Structure 1
């Protein structure tokens, strides 16, 4: 094990910041949630942590869906999951995995790399996945699986990979026990802030292969068709930060497949359209990993006439190789944009209440986002989840949000556009 000292600050989340870890103190805060994550006994075969790479083979693991909680001051949010017994489990939201020898409750949240890495360390090391702060009962976790986005199917030097452990303002580097397609495994871990780092080598940095995502959002308040297109490493913490910002900008996610080739960190990729379009600030996008608190780079695509749809393409600027393509149809853009602008969230929820009660799915994700936006609290979440059928749960949620007023209904409307855009479009078109 190699050790290094850093001058970064003490982790924000250290020292049992979430006192609700102790069951006897459940009454200390009304904001604390005690319902543990739901265990999915069947494997989720569509899990994104099987990966979007054609060459990398991931693991099919039982998943747990965590609950979101807040610290006593309400400043930070975290995930809490109940692992039901001995085995290997993966978080359905973050991709973080745990091998445990008995049932245990795990609490974890995303941290920001730059608040822990010193400037000297940032020159030497590149984050290769999210940074997590993890708290769990000692002696139960046999191994932790930390997500990373490096494509191991390409010719990479895996000896450059380390797991960073931050404690009391110091960084310790540990070699992973095993490096797998989408995660780095560390056996017998100690916990505080943990994440995967990759050592920078100038000769190889601009050819580091990574798994990546393309995210497209439509600006609903903009003239004609205005899109924001992002190119990012497959880091779920960055993806979530972008989604939350775009929701605040009143944007709608347009789901499209990821790149069909391996992309390389440090390279530029050109975005083009088969239809006349204005792409600003320029057609090139760099593939880079930026911090959660930084603005992620994107290109804005303005298309005055979307009749008949259009095709979007992305090519490597070094050799012109096409790495991604997607078709935007009129059903993705034109009709939905006009209807969304004409209808407020409150009007939509009122008009389609019956259909939403029957068809609204992904309730855990919707509740997480509503909690994060402070639209509902833990008691109200319990009231929703306490119903005995999904239809009753949806009805209670819609009634709760309606009582909170127009702004709350608008936020639920925006969340539904991101979480289940196809349902929203189908309801509008019907």
Structure 2
């Protein structure tokens, strides 16, 4: 085990963001897949990673756990997720790693890039640092991540909310995390919970004690009473706070306070959609069953392709199921396979397919009566 510090790159320079194309990757339970059709800068919309490609290529990447014992010898700590990156075409020439630092008098001098290979780590200075990314030139791919020589007092954070509707005691899981933690990484651990998309940005201070408050406190209980904010980069993302709600709660005001009861974040959180979703899901099953024959007859090839990509992204189907549909020769057979597969998976899957179909082909949805 060992480490080395490289001086091949010059001192980081603060720049504004370059122009890049932002696209959704394919996402499975184990990795992200980004198809880059030509040379240029491509940003992953889920993780914030940016790849400078010298030509066409397919990039496979996933987050892995930092080895704290390996980093300890470098005197640095994680400042972002650690990514395992592969590209068979060898077309990746530069990485833009998302950071969460808030600029201060020292700028971003604390940021470095760790290149982990086996039981050794090489610490590199970024080529440059923008307000959201640290840029590093690369010659080979393995494990790459941001590290810091110290934790800045304040970082760009995010408050993520996950609602678990239950008949007796619904819960709201509240996560305080650095903004460069991908939401998808947290979401996949929140089984049976619905992610509530709400403005989440919030400056957070490392080591500061925070308290969560909500209206109707006598009915909606919160645990713990206070908690310190720490940078967490997985692989486990446990809730910072948990709110136990009354079953009839349709919305709630959440406030985050730091020491001295200074309010740093407040939002009105709608819960009605998650409470009523059961009825919507049941109706989606009935609708898809009733329009099955007409769907098979009318749906187009581009819409089928979009449905497959969307259902894979939403984790309704897996790679094997998607490929099994792709090899089917006839368009009608593909359509029949998709709708039967989704109907077999139950109400949640049916509601997801209906939503995707309405986004992809509004005319077809109107004709099928799915609006």
**TM-score normalised by structure 1 residue count:** 0.66
Matched-pair contact (CA < 8 Å) for 1:370–1:412? no
Matched-pair contact (CA < 8 Å) for 1:349–1:409? no
Within the alignment, does 1:350 sit opposite 2:300 as a pair? Answer: no
- Structure 2 equivalent of residue 142 of structure 1: 93
**TM-score normalised by structure 2 residue count:** 0.75
* Residues 31-90 of structure 1 deviation map (CA, whole Å, 9 limit, x = unaligned): xxxxxxxxxxxxxxxxxxxxxxxxx96555212333346xxxxxx822222212221111
Pick the aligned partner of 1:187 from 122, 130, 137: 137
The 3-state SS of whatever aligns with 2:38 is: coil
Map 1:224-239; keep pairs closer than 5 Å.
224-237=169-182, 239=183
Map 1:218-367; keep pairs closer than 5 Å.
218-237=163-182, 239-246=183-190, 248=191, 250-259=192-201, 261-276=202-217, 277-304=219-246, 309-317=251-259, 319-328=260-269, 332-334=270-272, 336-338=274-276, 340=278, 347-353=282-288, 364-367=309-312
* Residues 369-426 of structure 1 deviation map (CA, whole Å, 9 limit, x = unaligned): 427x758534146369x969xxx98885332222xx3xx3256369789999xxxxxx
* Structure 1 CA distance for aligned equivalents of residues 109 and 356 of structure 2: 38
RMSD of aligned residue pairs (Cα, Å): 4.1
Higher CA-based Rg: 2
* Structure 2 CA distance for aligned equivalents of residues 216 and 157 of structure 1: 31
Within the alignment, does 1:174 sit opposite 2:124 as a pair? Answer: yes
* Structure 2 CA distance for aligned equivalents of residues 355 and 251 of structure 1: 29
Relative to its length, the structure with more strand (as a share) is: 2
The 1:336–1:258 alpha-carbon spacing in structure 2 relative to 1, beyond 3 Å, is closer
Matched-pair contact (CA < 8 Å) for 1:162–1:174? yes
The 1:415–1:220 alpha-carbon spacing in structure 2 relative to 1, beyond 3 Å, is farther
The 3-state SS of whatever aligns with 2:31 is: strand
Map 1:17-416; keep pairs closer than 5 Å.
58-68=17-27, 77-113=30-66, 116-118=67-69, 121=72, 124-137=75-88, 140-152=91-103, 154-200=104-150, 205=151, 207-237=152-182, 239-246=183-190, 248=191, 250-259=192-201, 261-276=202-217, 277-304=219-246, 309-317=251-259, 319-328=260-269, 332-334=270-272, 336-338=274-276, 340=278, 347-353=282-288, 364-370=309-315, 374=318, 377-380=321-324, 382=326, 397-402=338-343, 405=344, 408-409=345-346, 412=349
The alpha carbon displacement at 1:232 in A equals 1.0
* Structure 2 CA distance for aligned equivalents of residues 285 and 419 of structure 1: 39
The 1:91–1:336 alpha-carbon spacing in structure 2 relative to 1, beyond 3 Å, is closer
* Structure 1 CA distance for aligned equivalents of residues 251 and 226 of structure 2: 22
Corresponding pairs, count:
338
* Structure 2 CA distance for aligned equivalents of residues 413 and 209 of structure 1: 43
* Structure 1 CA distance for aligned equivalents of residues 291 and 227 of structure 2: 40
